[in-house]
Each structure stands twice: as structure tokens, then as C-alpha cells.
Amino acid sequence: MTEAGCDDARLVPAAVAAWAATTLGLHAGWQVALGLAAIAALCAAATVVARRRRRFRAAAAPLLATLVVAAGFSAAVALRMWAVETHPVAAAAAREGWATLVVEPTEDPKRLGDSVFGGDQVLVPARLHRAELGAGRYTGGGAVVVFAPADAWAELLPGQRVTLRGRLADPDSADLTVAVVRADGPPRSVQAPSLVQQEAGRIRERLASASGAVLPPAAAGLLPGLVVGDTSQLPDGVRESFRVAGLTHLTAVSGANVSIVLGAVLLAVRGLGLGPRTGVALAAVALVAFVVVVRPSPSVLRAAAMGAIGLLALVTSRRRNGLPALAATVGVLLVAAPELATDAGFALSVAATAGLVLVAPVWVTRLRARGWPRAAAEVFAVSAAAFVVTAPIVAALSGTVSVVAIAANILVAPVIPPLTVLGTTVAAVSAVSPAAAELLARGTAPMLWWILEVAARAAALPLAEVPVPAGVGGAVAVVGGLVAAGYLPRLRRGRPAGAPTVMSEGRGTIDR
């Protein structure tokens, strides 16, 4: 589909092939991935031969591209998995030996609460730099996950190089982690983080401080979560109500946050009368600063990549098309970080974006044709589309489905853009004037109250969530339920399933 106004899906098979090949390689190991690469390469060669025949020429081109992508990604993940499986630290982890490691955290420590290993624990994803393994020494890279006491590790910043002593263990996740490390205590030594990370950490700290100084506890914990994804001070009761109400995504920074921030920057540039290239440059600076402060989690990396593609479209004066942009983003991110292929948050993020690109515009058109105001149609379509495409994944992961999610998201939608802009302004201003940041933070109180009230009341409703089987069975059950819900109104009107639709003045299809 390449006609104007249609979504160009030519990159989608390649993106699906890249994702599937990477996932299979991470789960099955380098031998299977290498075998898949060989099979895909042979099929690609056969396709080249078949392409010489005229009747196969049209179908051969997209098939060839997909096979080449599958072969390339399979070979790449095979190489990376081989490096992980033959890593000296992985060999030591298989023996559950002790080691002295020099690592660099790549994300903020995540609190886990009380652990069977004793006391409050944190999980710290880190990059390995050096390891002393008994009589041997290793210098090089590798991903490790450190479990450590919270009191000594919770304040570490990404980029700080630390030395620790701990027991190694095999990782149980399907990614590129070479070992799990259980630290025996505080770090032996800690280097200062980079100036950039120091400033990013200072902004996050001052945002939390400004929020805590002028807002009630629940709102003070929510504002940093909405702005930079910092949920460390969010009360457990609020977490639970957000989960039941289907609002947890608000505290996981994603493409919506990036779009709102970049949109605000571009509107400000236009208001100042600056040129489009200046606007693009300032938006790019804002994008980089936003990602640094928020930390590059999978959803943020995906959102940043989508923002970068949008900026490129502006520079080249080409019309932005959401579906090929999303497909290209998936491929680029899987090249940079293959472990994203098995990350649930990344899958939810991509699914939600696909729903907004493919489903929401169609529903907006149909609702407008039925007389809905544009704003109401867009709010409902976006919330409903995001729920429909992510509900099967959430059901498979959690074994529950939120019945109130669409309504809750519709109710909070009007306050999210102004709250995001104002909250981001609070974070930026806090770097230069904490007093001014506190004054601005007061302005977020009514919007935060509304979100908290919606979440609490929605979660308290009877049957706010329903249990389903976890895993594939739950996902299939939810898909079946959604399909049935879509067809029931037609059956009640006496219209057979699959009956033809009619066009409404060229604006889309509506039910007869």
C-alpha cells in the first residue's frame, strides 16, 4: 500500500523477520541461530533464481528482502550469543564461583524490597569492564546484573564505575547477560559519574525535592513518575490502583511523552518566529536532554528513535508515515540492542504505537462520520486502540485484564499533555532555581489530584479487573473476547458477520 494517504507496509515483513530471528536466537542459542541464518540465506539464493521468471518477479522482491534480513539478524545474534556463551565470566558463573568485578551501572538501581538473601535489595543492570576470576583475569565487555544491599547501592548513578566482590550465577533470562552477581556488601570503590550523569541525577533529585516540598505524598511521588519515569517514591497503594485501572503506562516514559515535549518545543519555536531548521535543532537538543535525564530504558529508546525519524522527515521535507517509521525503528533498535526482542516493555511499546498508527485513525474517521466531535473521537479512539492491541500482551504477562482501562484513560487524557509540559518545565527550572520549581510544581496539583482520583475510583469498582489464564492461553482468550465484543452489536442489529460496509463521503467505512 503505497498510495497517498495509505500506510506503506513494505518494511513490516522485514521488521517482523528481524524480531522473530532475534527472539529465536536469544532463546535457542547460537547454534540454532546460525542454522536459521544458513537456511534463510539458501532460501534467499533460491528466490534470486526464481526472480528471473517473470511470473515470480513481483512477489520475489519483498520475499528476498525479508529473507536477507532474517539471515543477517540470525547471523548477528548467533555471533553475539556465541560471545556470551564462551565468555570467561559465564564459565565462572556456571561454577557459581566468586569474583572481583569492575562494573558500570547502565540504569538506576531498582528496589526489590526484602529478599531471601537478606534485607532490602536492589537490582543493578551493569556493563562489565574487568573481572578477577581466581587465578585468571579478564578485561573486556559484557552485560551483568548485580543484586546488592539497597542501603549501599541505591544512590549509584549510571556511568559510575564500581568495584565489587560477589558470587556469580547463571542468568535465567533470554538476553545477552553473561552472569548474575550477588554482591557481598557495599562496593569496594566508587568512581565519580560523568558530568552529564551528575547533572541528570541532580535534575531528577531536585524534581523529586520540589514535588515533595509542595505536594501531598501521593502526588509528590506521581509527578516524577509521569515526567521522568522515577517511581521510587510512589506509594504502593497508588501503584496498585494504577495497575488495576490500566494507567501504569503513564509512569513508563514512552513515545507519548516525547511527542508532547517535542510538540511543545516546536510550538514555542513557531511562536518566536524562528525557522523550521532552528526548530528541528532545538527539538533534537530537547530530545537528547530528555533521554539523558529519563535514562535509556527500552520504551524511551524506542520513543527517542521515533522522534529522531520524525526530525529526519522534517529536514528532508518528506511526509512522515507512521508504519514504516515504526518498522524501521524496530530494526534499528534490534541492531543496537538485540536483547530488546525479549523485553515485554518493548513489545508493549511497539504494539501501542502500532495501534495508534493503524487502528486509531480508522476509528476516528468512523466516529466522526457518526457525528462525534473531533476531540472526543480522538481521545476515545486513541485510548481504545491502545487498550485493544496491548490487552492480549498484558493478559499473557499478568493473568488479568482491566475492564475499566479505556474509561480511566479517557478521563485522564485531557490533563496529560499540560501536565507533561508543566512537569518537564519544573524539572528544567529546578536545575537553576529550586524555589521557582516549587512554585511551578504547585500548578500541577489539580491535575495530579484528578489522575489519582480517577485511578482510585476506577480500581475500587466491582470487577475492575478480571482474571484470565497467564501465557498464550490468556492472550488467545482476550483476543477472542475482543473479537466477540466487536461483532455482538452487529448481530443484535441483525447484520451477519462480514457484511459489507459502505463509504461515508470518502472519509472511511461505517456500518450500514
Model confidence pLDDT, tens digit, residues 30-41:
999 999 999 999
Supply the range of the domain harboring residue 36. Answer: 10-86
Please check the confidence at residue 65 and state whether its pLDDT lies above 50: yes
**Which CATH number goes with the domain that contains 174?**
2.40.50.140
Residue in 47, 160, 48, 140 with CA at minimum distance from that of residue 87? 140
159 within some domain: yes
What pLDDT is recorded for position 7?
Answer: 54
Give the residue with greater pLDDT, 307 vs 170.
170
Locate 186 and state its grid cell: 557495599
Q: What is the mean pLDDT of residues 40-58?
A: 79
Dist. CA 249–CA 323, nearest whole Å: 21
CA distances from 44 to 38, 58, 73, 271 (A): 10, 15, 14, 52
Which amino acid does the sequence have at 434? Answer: P
8 A C-beta contact, residue 329 and residue 319:
no
Least confident of 102-106, 260-264, 340-344, 372-376: 260-264
Give the residues across from 402 on adjacent strands: 465
Dist. CA 381–CA 84, nearest whole Å: 44
384 within some domain: yes
CA distances from 465 to 42, 142, 162 (A): 49, 41, 43
Dist. CA 502–CA 209, nearest whole Å: 57
Please check the confidence at residue 130 and state whether its pLDDT lies above 80: yes
Most confident of 70-74, 95-99, 311-315, 377-381: 70-74
Dist. CA 424–CA 418, nearest whole Å: 10
Dist. CA 153–CA 150, nearest whole Å: 5
Return phi, psi of residue 370, to 5°.
Answer: -90, 5
Considering the domain architecture, whether residues 338 and 479 belong to the same structural domain is answered as yes
Dist. CA 182–CA 112, nearest whole Å: 14
500 within some domain: no
Query: Any idea what DSSP says for residue 338?
Result: G
Residue in 256, 248, 233, 254 with CA at minimum distance from that of residue 408? 248
What pLDDT is recorded for position 233?
Answer: 86
Q: Across the chain, what does the average pLDDT equal?
A: 83
165 within some domain: yes
4 within some domain: no
Residue 1's pLDDT band, with cuts at 50, 70 and 90, is: very low
pLDDT in tens, 420-452: 999 999 999 998 899 999 999 999 999 999 999
Q: What is the mean pLDDT of residues 475-495?
A: 75
8 A C-beta contact, residue 210 and residue 426:
yes
Considering the domain architecture, whether residues 78 and 108 belong to the same structural domain is answered as no
Q: What is the mean pLDDT of residues 62-89?
A: 92
How many residues are present in the chain? 512
Q: What is the mean pLDDT of residues 111-137?
A: 79
Residue in 324, 355, 360 with CA at minimum distance from that of residue 2? 324
Please check the confidence at residue 3 and state whether its pLDDT lies above 50: no
Residue in 357, 277, 341, 285 with CA at minimum distance from that of residue 315? 277
Considering the domain architecture, whether residues 132 and 218 belong to the same structural domain is answered as no
| Boundary-marking domain end, from 192, 219, 251 | 192
Which amino acid does the sequence have at 210? Answer: A
What pLDDT is recorded for position 320?
Answer: 54
Considering the domain architecture, whether residues 107 and 172 belong to the same structural domain is answered as yes
pLDDT in tens, 283-296: 888 888 888 888 76
Dist. CA 56–CA 42, nearest whole Å: 17
What pLDDT is recorded for position 508?
Answer: 39
- Maximum pairwise Cα distance, the chain: 79
Considering the domain architecture, whether residues 152 and 202 belong to the same structural domain is answered as no
SS3 274: coil
Please check the confidence at residue 215 and state whether its pLDDT lies above 90: yes
Dist. CA 418–CA 264, nearest whole Å: 10
Considering the domain architecture, whether residues 37 and 170 belong to the same structural domain is answered as no
Dist. CA 30–CA 180, nearest whole Å: 20
Considering the domain architecture, whether residues 437 and 476 belong to the same structural domain is answered as yes
77 within some domain: yes
68 within some domain: yes
Considering the domain architecture, whether residues 127 and 272 belong to the same structural domain is answered as no
Residue 495's pLDDT band, with cuts at 50, 70 and 90, is: low
| Boundary-marking domain end, from 86, 107, 141 | 86
What pLDDT is recorded for position 504?
Answer: 39
What pLDDT is recorded for position 185?
Answer: 85
Considering the domain architecture, whether residues 290 and 357 belong to the same structural domain is answered as yes
What pLDDT is recorded for position 307?
Answer: 60
Name the pTM for this structure.
Answer: 0.80
245 within some domain: yes
What pLDDT is recorded for position 440?
Answer: 94
Say how many domains are in the chain: 3
Place of cell 480508522: 362
Residue 15's pLDDT band, with cuts at 50, 70 and 90, is: very high
Residue in 180, 152, 183 with CA at minimum distance from that of residue 166? 183
SS3 371: coil
Locate 259 and state its grid cell: 511527542
| Boundary-marking domain end, from 192, 218, 249 | 192
- Give Cβ neighbours of residue 431 (< 8 Å, ≥ 6 apart): 199, 202, 203, 206
Residue in 150, 142, 143 with CA at minimum distance from that of residue 109? 150
Considering the domain architecture, whether residues 106 and 154 belong to the same structural domain is answered as yes
DSSP H or E stretch at residue 279: helix 276-294
Residue 311's pLDDT band, with cuts at 50, 70 and 90, is: low
What pLDDT is recorded for position 208?
Answer: 92
Which amino acid does the sequence have at 410? Answer: I
Considering the domain architecture, whether residues 246 and 177 belong to the same structural domain is answered as no
Alpha-carbon 267 to chain mean position: 26
Considering the domain architecture, whether residues 104 and 244 belong to the same structural domain is answered as no
Radius of gyration, alpha carbons of the chain: 25
What pLDDT is recorded for position 115?
Answer: 57
Give the residues across from 182 on adjacent strands: 147, 167
